[in-house]
Amino acid sequence: MKTTFDFIVIGSGPGGYSAAIRAAQLGYTTAIVEKYSALGGTCTNVGCIPSKALLDSTEHYHTAQTKFEDMGIHTGQLSLDTNQLFARKDSVVAQNAKGIRYLMDKNKIEVFEGMGAFLNDTTLQVINAETTHQLTARYFIIATGSKPASLPEITIDKKRIISSTEALSLGQKPNKMTIIGGGVIGVEMASIFSRMGTKVTIIEYADELLPSMDRELGKTLKRSLKKQGVNVLVSHKVQTVKSYVNTVTVSYLDNKGKEQEQTADYCLVAVGRKPYTEGLGLENTTVQQDEKGRILTNEKLQTHASNIYAIGDVIQGAMLAHKAEEEGIFVVETIHGQQPQIHYDRIPGVVYSWPEVASVGKTEEELKAEGKDYNIGKFPFSASGRARAAGENEGFAKVLTDAKYGEILGVHIFGPRAADLIAQAVTAIKLEATDQFLTAISYAHPTYSEALKEAYWEASGKGSINL
């Protein structure tokens, strides 16, 4: 078995496997190291893919409950088979992991299963239950991702106090669930379980959900979730969480500073994630980390060891699968002598609630803080012919443009298929397009994308056209 390579990638998530594939495409001998038997990392196995499978399944169930009758569809007695719900999720995950394995084989990438730990800057030891390998490479890419974080006063016991990892494999419908954290993960988990019939409460320390996004998105999502039966508590501070045999109790201060208490079947801690570098042997290298455990890199994503690079959740920046993908390809192409670029302000953020939330570029709060003159264009999906036809009247498309030149500064969408619509906005910002230009191109009618066109029309001062 070969033990010396041009590239060794540690971690097989989206960043890792994208980097490995690009390296192989460019003619480099490449290996990937993964401590689990299934490839794909957190995203494929316990993150993006399983959560989206459950989100889609429960959204179908919710739609059948709430919208079919209006459409003239009568299903009779409706029921939810939670065993099949989670079994389908497992099947989707397995198919994706199998697809990644196929890509490794297709691109002749050597896969080493086991825990990888650096012995020095040029040697990696990989240990599993049966074998030990010492591997060397010209370049290493650390792509080990992240794991769920908690609060100092909370211990995730994986029984009653759980993270998203355990929640995605519960296999049952809890009667009550308390979710600590109203960010992306907390909101998506709330959507899944509330649609299943679980009574869900979100406790968020900030004064709105999705505190890192445009404030209007969080406010609108809060109203939407409340209409769906989710209890949303913002400006609340968790004090303690106590786990018992069959229940868990969360104590918190409400927005008036009064102590409150809530008991549920599970408490899901969704307060973010932290870099996963345990057991990586970084102490044997010249790689350095900051106070939060993130690996320090330069503008080329190169660590203090010139032959070791790091990408994705283990470095500074948003913890997004598509960010890691971009960074993995960026590192390989940079080493290859190309001149790729990453513009972090052009990487979109998405929340897969329903309606979906998607955002790219500057928020209105950021533009105000900068003293930037800007125009706002906003169009409601309730005025969209396509949205009316689909019964998806909730939400809006909001664009922020430069007041002088009309350049697109930010786009924020709360509505149906926002996750797909945001791609056009990313392209527009990448090309430095103007609101005038984006009203001059043809949009198929009727489509959800016309909501963006109408928002551009309004921002440009042209007014809008009734759909």
At residue 109, φ and ψ (nearest 5 deg) are -95, 125
The angle, 0 to 180 degrees and rounded to 10, between the axes of the packed helices 215-227 and 184-196 is 10
Burial of 241 (0-12, 13-18, 19+ CB in 10 A): buried
> Left if phi > 0, otherwise alpha if psi is -120 to 50, otherwise beta: which for 394?
beta
Closest CA to 114 of 124, 101, 128: 128
Q: Are 399 and 410 in contact (CB under 8 A)?
A: yes
DSSP assigned state of 375: E
Q: Are 190 and 326 in contact (CB under 8 A)?
A: no
Give the integer Cα–Cα distance in Å for 201 and 456: 37
Token pair in block for residue 293: 């455990």
Task: Cite the beta strand spans of 237-311 per DSSP E.
Answer: 237-243, 248-253, 259-264, 266-269, 273-275, 308-310
Q: Is 176 helix (H, G, I), strand (E, B) or coil?
A: strand
Indicate the pairing of strand 308-310 with strand 374-380: unpaired
445 is known as an active-site residue? yes
Give the integer Cα–Cα distance in Å for 187 and 359: 16
Catalytic residue among 60, 336, 343, 445: 445
Q: Is 291 helix (H, G, I), strand (E, B) or coil?
A: coil
Task: Cite the beta strand spans of 254-362 per DSSP E.
Answer: 259-264, 266-269, 273-275, 308-310, 349-351, 356-361
Token pair in block for residue 454: 């109408």
Closest CA to 459 of 383, 379, 367: 379
Q: Which residues pair with 251 in a beta bridge?
A: 240, 261
What is the signed CA dihedral for 380, 382, 383, 388, rounded to 10 degrees? 140
Place of tokens 């109408």: 454
Interacting residues of 386 by C-beta distance below 8 A, sequence separation 6+: 445, 446, 447, 448, 450, 467
Active-site positions read 445
